[in-house]
Structure 1
Amino acid sequence: MEKSTLALAIVAGIVGLPYVQQASAAGFIEDSKATLSLRNLYFNQDYRSGTQPLSKAEEWGQGFVLNVQSGYTPGPVGFGVDAIGLFGVKLASNAGDNPGYTPQLFPLRSNGSAADQFSSVGLTGKARYSKTVAQVGTLLPKLPVLVYNDGRLLPATYEGGQITSNEIGNLTLTAGQIDRTRLRASTDLEGLSAGGAGTPTTNRFYFGGADYRVGKNLLLQYYYGALHNYYEQHFFGLTHTQPLPLGSLISDLRYFRSTSDGKNASAAGRSDGYRVADARVAGDPHKGEIDSDLWSAQFTWKVGGHALSVGYQENIGDSELARIFSGPGVTTYTIANRHVGGFIRPGERVWVGTYTYDFAALGVPGLTARLFYNKGYDISVAGSSRHDHEWERDARLEYVVQSGPLKNLNLAWWNASLRSTVRSQRDIDENRLVIGYTLPLF
């Protein structure tokens, strides 16, 4: 089948329209591309503390992601459409044996068991003028103030609109609004809320920002995000690469300022999800208020196949870092975000260490190993008369086949251990085994 015929057939099938071949709009067809990504994931969380009935979460599934991107129609303003199809299949799950189970890979049915399969389709219309692109529909944002989660079988998605402009040299401008989200283990679109318990939902999150490159080695960033009538957030970032006589030094500085807005600015409209009550104050009027200054600095020395990083992160405020709710997983643009823990609690100070080795330096391209260690302390949480602490140790081993019939096949093992004195946090040992493959269709 010719590329134009295949492209039209796939897009028509996803949209659900009858396929009719059209010979016009050559750029729309000839510049189109499609991939099918397969992810086989075994997920195991072993809970080492806590009195809840669930002692282990164990699931295994197969995920499929069909991604179709059209080109643009001819003319000063080009139009196109993208489509993403998500399909997950359960191979095994212990969800039905555990009341109150939180979905990890699959949605839950009414009887508490995991669904045998689940799927969704997202469409994105797009328009391009010069070096500016506007998108409306399904989005996968990866911005400092809004990061989609892709840590399980299928990615979480958002619905909304976004404009990205590169009209000015070395400057990228981004702005948009999202109104709904589909979580990673769900088929339903739902409203937006802050990542804390009991927060109200809304249908508006605004974001915008700029990435400015100064030469080849310096990146400056500013981003703004606001959950309507609940919180505002400002982000400033700087990344610099300094060549050294031996290797290079990468400096990464980040700062988030999160404040209350609208309902969260008044005691009557707050939830308990962020700032904890001061035990010394009866009926603390600031309970639930978003108020966080989180900053970090990380320095990475890269030489040969080695990369060694040391970083420090501190949340000076009395609340967690504000973020959009993304289900049981926490994905934030912070240096301390790990496989299990978020390390963004009120008052938390975190030392971060990472080591990466690329075995291409030993003649084994495609094989990498990474080690992570976080040590968090001075945590202020509800019901605690002292400062709590936690640590997490992660290891990741990955191999990507470089040639032959299995080229681009990805094999990975992720291992993590979290230990915490925070009462609401269970000690966890986690393993993920991943087999992934992306097949170009055209």
Structure 2
Amino acid sequence: MYKSTLAFAVAVGVLAQQANAAGFVEDSKLSLSSRTMYFDHDDRETGSNSSRESGQGFKLDYISGFTEGVVGFGVDAQALWGIHLDGGKGHHPNNSSFFPSDTDGSAVSQWGRFGANAKARFSKTEAHFGSALAPNLPILVSNDGRLLPQTFEGGTIQTKEIDNLTINAGQLTHAMGRASSNRTGLSVAGIGATQDSNKFQFAGGDWKVTKDLTLQYYYSNLEDFYKQHFLGLVHVLPIAEDQSFKTDLRYFDSSSDGKNGEVGYQFSNNGGYAKNTGEVDNKTWSAMFTYTLGGHAFLLGHQQIGDDGGFVWLNQGNVVDGNGRNEGAGGASFYLFTDSMINQFARAGENTTFGQYSYDFARLGVPGLKTSISYLRGDDIRNKSGDGSYNEWERDARIDYVIQEGTFKGLGTSLRHGVYRGSGEAGADVDQTRLIFNYTYSFM
């Protein structure tokens, strides 16, 4: 079990000195979240990457309030525990991102970790330092798509001192994968365990120009791998009381940094073409439009990945330990509309058109029940030789229900099914099913 000694020591010190201060205890929250999950990944071509596993995850969160005074102090702590419920060598590939692998390649029976953050608040500014950070920003999205969430170690600061402007900045040093007890350095897809970085810096902000229009700019730098600029625009046009039209525009400009491209610091470009082998060189734009009418939501969008290389994001997927075991760090999210259930649609030259229909059954008197179906089609994929004739598509469907009242109020169920097909070198055909039960109990 991994412990961030420094963060925990700071947290305990703050707790010991400030526990009796007004606000620290009164505003504290303690909750236990349970997630039971069945995961079936069916590799339709070779079967070598197929997995069929189920597990039980627990997440205990303590979030304190802040002490009184000009500067308020607090502490957050998180304990995670994953339990393997079934499966074995025949159902668990060693590169699985659902469970960590044991020395014989089978899934471990259980794993866990602990993290803590010290925090401080001054006026409308908050700083957090520790090993249980979960950013949700355009340049970094913490992944929570399996049994336990991905977390990061480092420090972040957020300020809202200027009305309608939220500024975020920080530096991260390590990641704790969604299926790992250990921390790893930070990297990108296609990099081995010795090629990582301990410096991911970012800064940017969200400016709410009007109540309906938000503009965004963020910059990030993973030392020796890449630099990335992001521009975003979100606008919601109210049409009637129960009707609206949303526009969401996103643009990324990513380039090489430091040792990127050298042996040990090469980016795989997601298995596609690269103008300069192993280097980051990409411009990506995307646009999504959503029309909402009552419980109906109709979404249509398009995304263009630049011709010079694939889209890049923080991803420790190939990090292994000294025995060659997968650290479980695989699996990372990113801020593109095409980050879907199975595939990413993020290779050089790829043009992806996508659509989705969703319905909220609360309009029919069944609150808590929602369903959606989406389809993505990517064309003009450039393979390693530069040929742009490959294509791929994915179809995803899901239904979610949260019990609204009674003994089991808050118990949520989600059933998801995805189908992916690719031509030529685009990728292996995959079917995937997930069944998830979520429940959170608040103690205080």
What residue is the counterpart of 2:82 in the other structure? 88
AA paired with 1:177?
Q
AA paired with 1:253?
L
Residues of 1 paired with 2:272 and 2:58: CA distance?
Answer: 44
Given the superposition, is the C-alpha separation of residues 270 and 415 from structure 1 closer, same or farther in structure 2, using an over 3 Å criterion? same
Query: Is this contact kept in 1: 2:42–2:51, CA < 8 A?
Result: yes
Residues of 1 paired with 2:316 and 2:191: CA distance?
Answer: 12
Kindly state the Cα deviation for residue 59 of structure 1 after the two structures are TM-superposed.
0.5
Query: Is this contact kept in 2: 1:82–1:123, CA < 8 A?
Result: yes
AA paired with 1:289?
E
Percent identity among equivalent residues? Answer: 43
Kindly state the Cα deviation for residue 195 of structure 1 after the two structures are TM-superposed.
2.5
Q: Secondary structure at the match of 2:259?
A: helix
Given the superposition, is the C-alpha separation of residues 21 and 408 from structure 1 closer, same or farther in structure 2, using an over 3 Å criterion? farther
**Correspondences of 1:408-423 after superposition (within 5 Å):** 408-423=410-425
Unaligned runs of at least 5 residues, structure 1: 1-11, 279-283
Residues of 2 paired with 1:147 and 1:23: CA distance?
Answer: 33
Given the superposition, is the C-alpha separation of residues 413 and 361 from structure 1 closer, same or farther in structure 2, using an over 3 Å criterion? same
Given the superposition, is the C-alpha separation of residues 243 and 61 from structure 1 closer, same or farther in structure 2, using an over 3 Å criterion? same
Question: Structure 1 residue aligned with 2:333, among 331, 334, 337?
Answer: 331
What residue is the counterpart of 1:391 in the other structure? 393
**Correspondences of 1:68-83 after superposition (within 5 Å):** 68-83=62-77
Q: Indicate whether 1:60 and 2:54 are aligned.
A: yes
What residue is the counterpart of 2:119 in the other structure? 126
Question: Structure 2 residue aligned with 1:287, among 277, 284, 290?
Answer: 277
Q: Indicate whether 1:274 and 2:264 are aligned.
A: no
What residue is the counterpart of 1:31 in the other structure? 27
Query: Is this contact kept in 2: 1:332–1:342, CA < 8 A?
Result: no
Kindly state the Cα deviation for residue 423 of structure 1 after the two structures are TM-superposed.
2.9
Given the superposition, is the C-alpha separation of residues 187 and 376 from structure 1 closer, same or farther in structure 2, using an over 3 Å criterion? same
Please give the root-mean-square deviation of Cα atoms over the aligned residues, in Å.
2.5
Residues of 2 paired with 1:248 and 1:292: CA distance?
Answer: 33
AA paired with 2:214?
L
What residue is the counterpart of 1:4 in the other structure? none
Query: Is this contact kept in 1: 2:70–2:122, CA < 8 A?
Result: yes
| Larger displacement relative to structure 2 (27-36 or 284-293) | 284-293
AA paired with 2:108?
A
Q: Indicate whether 1:112 and 2:132 are aligned.
A: no
Kindly state the Cα deviation for residue 160 of structure 1 after the two structures are TM-superposed.
0.3
Q: Secondary structure at the match of 2:23?
A: helix
Unaligned runs of at least 5 residues, structure 2: 1-7, 318-329
| Larger displacement relative to structure 2 (419-428 or 174-183) | 419-428
**Correspondences of 1:139-288 after superposition (within 5 Å):** 139-198=133-192, 200-245=195-240, 247-264=243-260, 270-271=265-266, 273-274=268-269, 286-288=276-278
Query: Is this contact kept in 2: 1:277–1:287, CA < 8 A?
Result: no
AA paired with 1:362?
L
TM-score w.r.t. length of structure 1? 0.90
Kindly state the Cα deviation for residue 20 of structure 1 after the two structures are TM-superposed.
8.0
Kindly state the Cα deviation for residue 79 of structure 1 after the two structures are TM-superposed.
0.5
AA paired with 2:412?
N
Aligned residues: 422
Kindly state the Cα deviation for residue 320 of structure 1 after the two structures are TM-superposed.
1.5
Residues of 2 paired with 1:300 and 1:98: CA distance?
Answer: 39
Given the superposition, is the C-alpha separation of residues 22 and 341 from structure 1 closer, same or farther in structure 2, using an over 3 Å criterion? closer
| Larger displacement relative to structure 2 (22-31 or 74-83) | 22-31
Query: Is this contact kept in 2: 1:323–1:332, CA < 8 A?
Result: yes
Q: Indicate whether 1:316 and 2:310 are aligned.
A: no
Given the superposition, is the C-alpha separation of residues 173 and 21 from structure 1 closer, same or farther in structure 2, using an over 3 Å criterion? closer
AA paired with 2:64?
S
Given the superposition, is the C-alpha separation of residues 386 and 343 from structure 1 closer, same or farther in structure 2, using an over 3 Å criterion? closer
Kindly state the Cα deviation for residue 305 of structure 1 after the two structures are TM-superposed.
0.3
Residues of 1 paired with 2:97 and 2:431: CA distance?
Answer: 15
What residue is the counterpart of 1:8 in the other structure? none
Residues of 2 paired with 1:339 and 1:276: CA distance?
Answer: 19
AA paired with 1:49?
E
Q: Once the two structures are superposed, what CA deviation does each residue of 1:44-103 show, in whole Å capped at 9, x if it has no partner?
A: 0111113x645x300100000111100111110011000011101110123x23685322
Given the superposition, is the C-alpha separation of residues 160 and 22 from structure 1 closer, same or farther in structure 2, using an over 3 Å criterion? closer
Given the superposition, is the C-alpha separation of residues 145 and 285 from structure 1 closer, same or farther in structure 2, using an over 3 Å criterion? closer
What residue is the counterpart of 1:345 in the other structure? 347
Q: Secondary structure at the match of 1:26?
A: coil
Given the superposition, is the C-alpha separation of residues 39 and 437 from structure 1 closer, same or farther in structure 2, using an over 3 Å criterion? same
Q: Secondary structure at the match of 1:42?
A: strand
Kindly state the Cα deviation for residue 295 of structure 1 after the two structures are TM-superposed.
0.3
AA paired with 1:333?
Y
| Larger displacement relative to structure 2 (320-329 or 232-241) | 320-329
Query: Is this contact kept in 2: 1:149–1:326, CA < 8 A?
Result: no
Residues of 1 paired with 2:402 and 2:249: CA distance?
Answer: 31
Query: Is this contact kept in 2: 1:41–1:434, CA < 8 A?
Result: yes
Given the superposition, is the C-alpha separation of residues 360 and 285 from structure 1 closer, same or farther in structure 2, using an over 3 Å criterion? closer
Residues of 1 paired with 2:358 and 2:200: CA distance?
Answer: 36
